[in-house]
Amino acid sequence: MQSIQSNALEPTRHELRNASFGQKCVRLLPTYGLVVLTLVLIILFSLVLPDTFPTLLNLRSIISDKAIIALLSLGAMIPMAAGRIDLTVGYGIVLWHILAISLQTMFGIPWPVAVLIVLVLGGLMGVLNGLLVEVAKIDSFIATLGTGTILYSLALWHTGGRQVVGMVSASFYALNGTMVFGLPVTGFYVLAIALVMWLTLEYLPVGRYLYAIGASPKAAALNGIPVRRYVMGSFIVSGLLTALTGILLASKLRIGQASVGLEYLLPALVGAFLGSTTIKPGRVNVWGTLIGVIILAVGISGIQQFGGSFWVEPLFNGVTLLVAIGIAGYAQRKRSSALKAAPQPKPPAH
């Protein structure tokens, strides 16, 4: 039933203590290689495109465009920490952003109430996914693909294939359109949510439990961890984050449209998968996920400013994912070989 496995591969202090400088670089490269590559790309594009890339306008554009993907990636990585995958992050955002608009324009519901309704529905969607995976024992990939397709069908039925347009409160538009310190407020949403998730996953018992479940659900259950409860909780949080992202997307687009949203699925999953190849290779983690989204944003922005065509973005997403996972797999095999070749400690003499 495992769609994703979670095993951290970052070098230990003992490994680094007895290693030469060259060996340390080799061991740390898989851990921080994506961070270094991101910095190299930023410097390279800034030197080659000095008039357009290293500008405040470009930074605003990147934050505005990629904050949605970053939030979806953070939502997707929570079930991944527990060894599951949630495809409804890409399908759900279609229906949620439509409802955030239509509840106000078609039914006259005040925007705070509309936002609350969408969040509740997102949480209930997470409950359904959790029940299908943990109670019905359907693989998470298949279960969330099915429920996601149903959500997309509901979006098509609700809109009839047409745009949902109407006047809504200016305060609703401000959820996404506000600038803070000269930058889009959505970037600060991402940082705040990432900080909370990082503290939760790294320093609270719930985070350790999720990682333990992702590494081995049977071992976690034998150690007294309520696997079903935590897996269902991960799907609920993922559903809530997807619903929140849909609300922000509606505030940004100011219309509801069933053809908008699915294009976020692949980049969101790519960002989450890339996150498992850096900082803590082999284990999804918050800052790795943000680095994954940043490198996609930087690379695509730079290539497009060079005059890249419309098909460059999905090509870059796919190639980056394959290369990053290949590097992580190579690092894992090298470390396994090194551990097997290392002399084993002798048992104490009696």
| Cα–Cα distance, 37 to 98 (Å, whole number) | 37
* One-letter amino acid of 217: P
Number of H helices, E strands in the chain: 14, 2
Whether the CB-CB separation of 154 and 168 falls below 8 Å is answered with: no
Q: What is the pLDDT of residues 69-124, one digit of tens each?
A: 999 999 999 999 999 999 999 999 999 999 999 999 988 899 999 999 999 999 99
Write phi, then psi, for 256 (nearest 5 degrees): -110, 130
Count CB atoms within 10 A of the CB of residue 85.
Answer: 25
Q: What is the pLDDT of residues 224-236, one digit of tens each?
A: 999 999 999 999 9
Torsion of CA 171, 65, 31, 329, to 10 degrees: 120
Q: What is the pLDDT of residues 149-174, one digit of tens each?
A: 999 999 999 998 888 888 888 899 99
Write phi, then psi, for 134 (nearest 5 degrees): -95, -30
Is the pLDDT at 278 greater than 50, yes or no? Answer: yes
| Cα–Cα distance, 214 to 334 (Å, whole number) | 22
* One-letter amino acid of 282: G
Helix (H) or strand (E) holding 87, with range, is none
The pLDDT of residue 10: 56
| Architecture of the structural domain at 13-19+28-336 | Orthogonal Bundle (1.10)
| Cα–Cα distance, 228 to 237 (Å, whole number) | 14
The model carries a pTM of 0.86
164 forms beta bridges with: 256
Q: What is the pLDDT of residues 196-205, one digit of tens each?
A: 999 999 999 9
β pairing state of 183-184 and 179-180: antiparallel
Secondary structure, 3-state, 184-232: EHHHHHHHHHHHHHHHHHHHCHHHHHHHHHHHCHHHHHHCCCCHHHHHH
Whether the CB-CB separation of 235 and 133 falls below 8 Å is answered with: yes
